[in-house]
Amino acid sequence: MTEPVAFAELWRGGQLESTHLGHAVICGADGSVEAAWGDPEAVIFPRSSCKMLQALPLMESGAARNLTTKQLGFVCASHNGAAIHTQAAAAWLADLGLGEADLRCGSHEPKDRAERDRLIKTDQSPCQLHNNCSGKHCGFLMLNKHLGGHADYIEADHPVQMAVKAAFEEVTGETSPGYGIDGCSAPNYSCSVHGLARAMAYFATAKEGSDVRQDAAYRLAHGMRTHPEMVAGEGRSCTELMRAMEGKVTIKTGAEAVFIAIIPELQKGIALKVVDGGTRGAELAIAALLVKLGVLQADHPATRKYLNTVERNWRGFETGSLRLAPGFA
């Protein structure tokens, strides 16, 4: 088996301090590997990078025909829990005749500082609307209402999750070897890095109105790149880099340093995984590959925030740099 390769290096005082190793694949329109680093067949959990795959059954059911472009971005989100996100989740649930208690994603403190401070100042606790996956779970609930399933839609044998598994395997082109439970309590099915990149290439080639699945894939990816603020939020790499590419490319991170990209104008898909789970390595790697393919400007301020960055301490002193490893991208 091919070993992971160096993506990023942290240098301090003229010495190499840390290295982020990983696997990456670029797939073309037919799903074949056009470029690879490390092992294309390494099996990973895609985590939240595959939310557009998890939303396919909702779109294909017909239940989502009236969703706005903003909602389509939100259903694929790993958001900050800012007001724009919690309000979107609350409104969606209200439209379904449901409420926050119907979610099964759990609660956590929002990443958005303004919302976190508001909760503290008003002595309120976070609720499930703040969960970074609440948009995906609103989509699960919408599909569940359409299917008439029981309330615990996160169970692996529930019709919602069985539909997700079927779509996931069909678009990755693989039979998943199994699943783990994600941070939001839903099953997360594993696949190879190649399979994930193959799925992203499918989304990159999908045409609006072509057939039910292609239309679903097109609308989801289009919603994400049209509303990057709904996918993540201020200060986040997904939002900042999609803005830098002016709505031409869809990207999405996942926990434990997974990243994908959907590039319609090149009909290519990217998937990568940093094996130590270090997000900074995955952010550098996706930025480097997007620059390599000519869809992200190397000198854009957003790019410089994630690629070949200067490290500074709390006093503002330069302490080192995070650099692209030689031979990658």
Q: Is the pLDDT confidence value at 143 over 80?
A: yes
Token pair 């094996």 is at which residue?
A: 275
CA distance 17 to 324: 14
Please state whether 16 falls in left (phi above 0), alpha (psi between -120 and 50) or beta.
beta
Q: Mean pLDDT over residues 304-308, rounded?
A: 96
Distances (CA, A) of 246 to 51, 225, 227, 241, 300: 21, 8, 11, 9, 12
pLDDT, tens only, 80-122 = 999 999 999 999 999 999 999 999 999 999 999 999 999 999 9
Q: What is the CATH T-level fold of the domain 23-278, as seen in this structure?
A: Beta-lactamase (3.40.710)
Task: State the pTM of this model.
Answer: 0.97
CA distance 297 to 240: 13
- Contact between residue 254 and residue 303 where contact means Cβ atoms under 8 Å apart: no
Q: Residue 44: what pLDDT? A: 98
Which residue type does 316 have? Answer: G
Average pLDDT, the chain: 97
DSSP string spanning 31-55? S-EEEEES-TT-EE--GGGGHHHHT
Q: Mean pLDDT over residues 191-216, rounded?
A: 97
Token pair 């190793």 is at which residue?
A: 21
Q: Which residues of 68-77 are buried (b: 16+ CB within 10 A; e: fewer)?
A: eeebbbbbbb
- Contact between residue 295 and residue 265 where contact means Cβ atoms under 8 Å apart: yes
Q: Is the pLDDT confidence value at 48 over 80?
A: yes
Q: Mean pLDDT over residues 324-328, rounded?
A: 96
Q: Residue 1 — very low, low, confident or very high, per pLDDT cuts 50/70/90?
A: low
DSSP string spanning 219-256? HHHHHHHH-HHHHS-TT-HHHHHHHHTTTS-EEEEETT
Which residue type does 287 have? Answer: A
Q: Residue 244: what pLDDT? A: 98
Q: Residue 299: what pLDDT? A: 96
- Contact between residue 215 and residue 208 where contact means Cβ atoms under 8 Å apart: yes
Pairing of strands 191-192, 33-37: unpaired
pLDDT, tens only, 147-184 = 999 999 999 999 999 999 999 999 999 999 999 999 99
Q: Is the pLDDT confidence value at 130 over 70?
A: yes
Helices (H), the chain: 51-54, 56-61, 69-74, 83-95, 113-121, 134-147, 159-172, 193-205, 212-226, 228-231, 237-244, 279-292, 301-306
- Contact between residue 252 and residue 49 where contact means Cβ atoms under 8 Å apart: yes
Domain ranges of the chain: 23-278
Q: Mean pLDDT over residues 57-73, rounded?
A: 97
CA distance 131 to 135: 9
